[in-house]
Amino acid sequence: MSAACDNVSTQSAAALARQPVEVRKSATGWVADRQEDALALEVPVALVYNGISHAVMMASPSDLEDLALGFSLTEGILAHPHECYDLELHEEAQGLAVHLSIASQRLAELKQRRRSMTGRTGCGLCGTEALEQAIRPIPAVIAPSLDDAAIQHALGELNAHQPLKAATGAVHGAAWCDLQGHIQRLREDVGRHNALDKLIGTLARDSVPLEKGFVLVSSRASYEMVHKCASAGIGALAAVSAATALAVEQAQTAGLLLAGFVRPGRHLIYHRPATAQG
């Protein structure tokens, strides 16, 4: 439980709280042990574009600049990171707000489709107003050549890169891995979509070459996880849990390599394009 708290980074430490708990153990009989546990924080985060509040989601309060940029890119609010001129994090009475200054053309487009959105930890298609908006067109990507050993190597490194999960057991992780399976960076959040948006945000901020790696997530591979990867130009996604049928369909449409049920010594390949023969 709380022993892992000593090893968390400053960013991760800001995303957890400590709570006295009663641990119930059964040996010869049930006994109680008072301890201090680490809990993942979950706070409302508003994304504000040129003074207009557009989205509010529940998120872990770490790497929020990455979350804001990644969300803006994967939701089509921005087409390129350079369209975000400035980004500031503000603490407000009811939560946190990330203020983004974006290109005027993008703001005009945002106003046309502006809607009120609330993201939840197990969120679905947040802010969708009509059925035709539920499944958006997915861009084509080029899947890298990726072998089984790389996927397994990334899985073996995953836990060591998730300090917040080690401390709380309550968050998802999204990792960027090179083509040998070495984890280069990882972001964590109570929401799996948020974790992936944070990862995409940091990749965009640092202009990481996306053809030279793949994403590994600690969650299932849903439609939106596939769509977010494709929207960012990422050609391969591996998930610790299963993929959904729609996720596989969308991976096939985009030409994205999709793997799931990644466990030690075993994983499934749902779709492997010809460009990605490993």
266 annotated as a binding-site residue:
yes
Does 263 count as an annotated binding residue? yes
262 is in an annotated binding site: yes
- Residue 123: CA count within 13 A, CB half-sphere: 22
**Residue 152 burial (10 A CB sphere; 0-12, 13-18, 19+):** middle
Residue 161 · residue 183 · CB < 8 Å: yes
Q: Residue 137 annotated as binding?
A: no
Percent helix, strand and coil across the chain, each to the nearest 5: 35, 35, 30
Confirm or deny that 120 is annotated as ligand binding. Answer: no
- Asked whether the beta carbons of 65 and 89 are under 8 A apart, the reply is yes
How many Å apart are CA 224 and CA 203, to the nearest integer?
18
Between CA 243 and CA 262 the distance in angstroms is 11
How far is 6 from 13, CA to CA, in rounded Å? 9
Given 123, 126, 177, 229, the catalytic residue:
123
- The CA distance from 250 to 257, in Å, is 11
Class of residue 160 by CB neighbours under 10 A (exposed 0-12, middle 13-18, buried 19+): exposed
Q: Which two tokens stand for residue 174?
A: 């999204």
Q: Confirm whether 123 is a catalytic residue.
A: yes
Q: In what order do the strands lie in the sheet with 84-92?
A: 84-92, 95-102, 43-49, 52-59, 117-119
Among 218, 209, 235, 113, smallest CA distance to 173 is for: 218
Instruction: Report, as residue numbers or ranges, the catalytic residues.
Output: 123
Binding site members: 261-266
